[in-house]
Amino acid sequence: MNFLNHNNISKSVDGVEYHPLLPFLPSNAKVLFLGSFPPQRKRWSMDFFYPNFLNDHWRIEGLIFFGDKNHFVDNDRKTFRLDDIVSFLNDKGIAFYDTATAVRRLKDNASDKFLEVVEPTDIRQLLTRIPECRAIVTTGEKATTTICSYLNIPQEPKVGEWVTIPDTSLVLYRLPSSSRAYPLSLDKKAAYYKSMFHFVGIL
């Protein structure tokens, strides 16, 4: 399986970095996760969303749906089981992309604080491809701020809460970051994510 956007995997001369992945949009998607932007390639363990082996997103989903945080983890190779992840996401109807399609990294790290959004994602166009979607989920401040600005949402939701997106039947649901830099245990993060999956009818 190839999810790389081969048209956008290099930086331009002005330092703009284009999104290296294609949107992952199962036709039955009930929820769309929108992060800020993928980390630098040197931090990837696979060619898919949340590729950093130290990020706990796939451990959280493993814990919620299979009772095992290592369900999608390949510890020997320090990566995740991509085939299993894709099959699971297609079955459950969980979509992924990011709120920016082009950014500048103001520092040589993965922090959202040092990402300058050059081109926001056309989120409305993504939604036309997943008509069953009930919620957009953000897992960080940068992604939440970007989408609220783009979709004219007057107030950002707090972590664990949601707001209605104007002129739609959708909600914007905010969850804690799956980065280990976010000061919350994996079990407590999983509880937030589990509530969201109940909310959209996946659990």
Q: Model confidence over 71-91: pLDDT tens digits?
A: 999 999 999 999 999 999 999
CB-based contact 92:13 (threshold 8 Å): no
Q: Which residues constitute the domain of residue 88?
A: 17-199
Rounded Cα distance between 58 and 122, Å, is: 26
Residue 10 banded pLDDT, cuts 50, 70, 90: low
Rounded Cα distance between 37 and 143, Å, is: 8
Residue 1 belongs to a domain = no
**CATH code at position 179:** 3.40.470.10
> Number of folded domains in the chain?
1
Q: What is the pLDDT of residue 116?
A: 87
Task: Tell me phi and psi for residue 16, to 5 degrees.
Answer: -80, 130
Q: What is the pLDDT of residue 2?
A: 77
Rounded Cα distance between 145 and 130, Å, is: 23
Residue 8 belongs to a domain = no
Q: What is the pLDDT of residue 5?
A: 85
Structure-token pair, residue 131: 């008509």
Instruction: For 123-138, write each residue's pLDDT tens digit.
Output: 999 999 999 999 999 9
Residue 147 belongs to a domain = yes
Q: What is the pLDDT of residue 113?
A: 72
Residue 4 belongs to a domain = no
CB-based contact 8:76 (threshold 8 Å): no
